[in-house]
Structure 1
Amino acid sequence: MSRPTGVTHRGSKTASLPAPGVPFYTPAQTPAPGTALHPDAADLPTLFTPYKIRGVELANRFVVAPMCMYSADEGHLTDFHVVHLGQFALHGAALTIVEATSVAPNGRISPEDSGLWQDSQIAPLKRVADYIHSQGHKIGIQLAHAGRKASTLGPWHVAKRGEHQYALESEGGWPNNTWSASSIPYAPDWVDPVAMTLDDIAELKAAFVASAKRAVAAGVDVIEIHGAHGYLMTQFLSPTTNKRTDQYGGPAFENRTRLLLEIAREVRAAIPDTMPLFLRISATEWLEDVEPKEPSWTVQDTIRLADLLPAAGIDLLDVSSGGNSRNQYIKMHTRYQIDLVPEIKKALRAQGSAAADTLKFGAVGSITTAELAKEVVQKGGSVEADLVLAARQFLREPEFVRRVAHQLGVPIRWANQYLRAQWKPDAKI
């Protein structure tokens, strides 16, 4: 059945044109929700200016960061994900990144996590992509492997059971088949991982490439490699977890970064040149102030790695932190992660790195207010990231983009179907 080309009323076509390129009818959002209505305004915050990276143009600088939802069916996205992820685009987020999506069955964080290790997982992902595209916005996906932190239970299951976090085989888990750089468990009450062989590493790299190709087939616009939060890439990067003696480990920085850089290069070669490739990193393990002191991954290591990323095909560094040790010590404050971005950028400029001009940055962490969201990406500001990534705040209020715009006094486009609900300019939101 062909898709209708418009909506008719008493035999005449109305101005309600269909969204292009999607297999269902919905009104075209022109311009996309969240787009500034006065793009040439002299006082328009950078936050509401378009942003182009490779062949992808975003309507604004808001990105919904990946968030595990523990709601996939054997790795397949479900109707839940269409609703959950689609709402952010409907309300104005320019880029929505699908949760950590495993490139292999044993790389899922939980049995209910998203996956892209087989072709049957393409169609449900495409359904989400089609909806987000129908709203005039872009979709990304975070490709991942959890390593020694795999085979865990969703957080509400742990709370109910009150026992160990890992999922038993009877609960759909694989506690005897988790991988890591070395056979070091995350904590005494977690499973003992298997140290990956060179054959396992070759299999992993091939899996990242195959998953990236499936993402392209599903219509995804941006791919992000997950190198953060104590998952497998972190486990190779960190000297606290990587005790290997081959070319992928040991004290040598070049060895511990080898796997990540190889995966980046191979994924870059497998995807269109117009597709941006992001990397999420834990810029520090937050172990510098923990006793007894031992080598760990630090901001200085991240700066050193950042210098190498553009040559490996990475376009944007998504700066997060922590997650590789229960012993981490964080001096918590609102900007504890945001401030890592200018620190890295300043160091790259100081050492004359070419990455200072070519590598883009995303900032994440505790971005809950309009003023902070504005400050993070404001041209000439103290952080000057390229994109602002938020996660839990979008769970609290999917209309975060609209609220920020209202509080900053920026008129933006609302979705056609929601126009009659727009706030009055003097409304207290």
Structure 2
Amino acid sequence: MVKSKLRSRARKQANDVTVQTEPQPSAVSDVIVQTEPQPSAVSDVTVQTEPQPPADSDTTVLREALRTVTTFDAPSALGEDQLTALLQSLPRLEELTVRVPSFGTGRWLRLLPTSLRTLYVAGPEVTEPRWPGRYGSGLSVSLQGVAADTISHLATELGSRITLLVTDAQVTTIPSQLRGAIIRVEPDTVILPAGVRDSELTELRISRETVERLSVTAADLPRLRGQLPEGLQRLNVRGPEVTKPRWPERCPSDGLSVSLQVVTADTISHLADLGRTFELLEIYDCHDLTAGSLEPLTRCPELERLTLSGGVPDTVSLEPLTRCPELEYLTLSGGVPDAVLDSLSGCPGLWRLKLGDRQRPAETAFTAAAVTRLVKSCRELCVLYLHCTADTTRAVLTALKKADLGRDSDGRPRTIYLRVPGELFRQLKSQEGGGVRVWEWND
């Protein structure tokens, strides 16, 4: 506190001024300040100040101020060592912005206080920051324009603390430490963890056109009934051990396509009960398929394209597929025994059939006789893709040329387009004929 006392001297000469510049011995806190003479009556002004604290108290005040900071925007020029040192002084920090492309080692991440709820890391080119929002009581993180290894640093250093990750980098594999987090890949992809809260499902539903790709666990699929975003185009349903979602192909009509990845067969029933029609379904490595587990597909009136990958045992009948009137495209990848092909007899709308495994052609188990029987019974079948041994391919070509393929639904003689890998195409092209044309399989 500053105390001022005005002391006037009534003298005849107004311009006489007495000035003292040194502190008085009796009171070191009193300071007398000289003032310029005034044109009229001039007074001496004595200013009194409080005793000055020691110089190192400035550091103490700064430290105490930092301890109360909850939001901090780190300067773009701040290095990792500087940020690491600073974070040790911010124990109550709740929001942190770091405007750098990436800190090399990521060791600064381990110093983030447990109070932190939002972390935003942006690269140097970012001009419109997108904050992640918050989910749950954990840490929400947004990454924009940063190096791809930042995600692995986050997973390693923060692990299960993260409940929401928003990033513009493509996420192909889910780090094991982030399996409990919602991952939003900008601009249109969401990967949900197991046991996601109902509030997040509600938010997902009202997202409408903003979410086009969605990955969920098979255990949570029944909870999505009536909750799928209107603009959703691709849905991945994964088993508990899957870390790399396999997105289905996109439907040519922009309808919904679905992939089931290492799930149990009853997942198909839950899928049919979602309340949403889908046109394309890909099933990968579902090893407990039965005719009964395929039965729900007959309740999917718009199913046009189906892929069964990983082989179909000869104990599994595909007869339910013959009651899917819109099914036109069927892919059976892996081993396909004769009994499986025979169970497809008379599939009414089947137009294109892919058989075999491009990586392991020798594992296919069907014979030329079974293929010929199927072609003759499926009157709309026009294009047949084969990935099998060269000997089986030649045998199929010969058998189809000899067979009476009949006429199509328009009454014209049928033509079968046999598509084979490039190395076989060059050998077999000259042998086509009798209603069979040989094309190269190049997709």
Q: Please say whether Structure 1 and Structure 2 have the same fold, judged by a TM-score greater than 0.5.
A: no
The TM-score bracket by the shorter chain reads under 0.3
Bigger Cα Rg: 2
The TM-score, its normalising length taken from structure 1, stands at: 0.28
The TM-score, its normalising length taken from structure 2, stands at: 0.27
Normalized per residue, the structure richer in helix is 1
Normalized per residue, the structure richer in strand is 2
